[in-house]
């Protein structure tokens, strides 16, 4: 499991591609925030959904889960590990910046 946000996730897409093609189960938490890699510290958005759905190179399955509050984040983290192991595929758990930092 690893966690990142926008710019860092861009740099991880090659590793996600490898995990998808080699059927290596991984869980990535993506805290969405606007702007370039340095981000905009006081803003929040849900703009990385399409990027998460289509991240990586090549055609491989990926599972994207979205948490709306702390309770969902807790429950979906457990579910993400279960799904990654069961289907041997990358699972991306997305949250917005406010949930990631609180």
| For residue 99, pLDDT beyond 90 | no
Instruction: Please work out, in degrees rounded to the nearest 5, the angle formed at the alpha carbon of residue 42 by the alpha carbons of 63 and 44.
Output: 30
Domain count, the chain: 1
For residue 80, the enclosing domain spans 2-101
Indicate which CATH number applies to the domain containing 86.
3.40.50.970
| For residue 35, pLDDT beyond 80 | no
81-97 pLDDT, tens digit each: 999 999 999 999 999 87
Q: List the single range of 35-39, 64-68, 74-78 with lowest mean pLDDT.
A: 35-39
How far apart are the C-alpha atoms of 78 and 101, rounded to whole Å? Answer: 19
Minimal CA–CA distance to 45: which of 99, 10, 96, 101? 96
Q: Are 27 and 80 in contact (CB under 8 A)?
A: yes
Please compute the mean of the pLDDT values over residues 59-72 and round it to a whole number. Answer: 94
Please compute the mean of the pLDDT values over residues 3-18 and round it to a whole number. Answer: 90
Q: What is the pLDDT of residue 39?
A: 61
């Amino acid at each position: 499991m690893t966690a990142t946000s926008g710019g860092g996730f861009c740099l991880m897409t090659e590793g996600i591609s490898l995990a998808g093609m080699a059927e290596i189960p991984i869980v990535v938490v993506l805290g969405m925030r606007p702007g370039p890699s340095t981000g905009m510290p006081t803003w929040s958005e849900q703009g990385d959904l399409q990027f998460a759905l289509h991240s990586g190179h090549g055609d491989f399955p990926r599972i994207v889960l979205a948490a709306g509050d702390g309770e969902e984040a807790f429950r979906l983290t457990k579910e993400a590990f279960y799904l990654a192991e069961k289907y041997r595929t990358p699972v991306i758990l997305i949250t917005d910046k406010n949930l990631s930092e609180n």
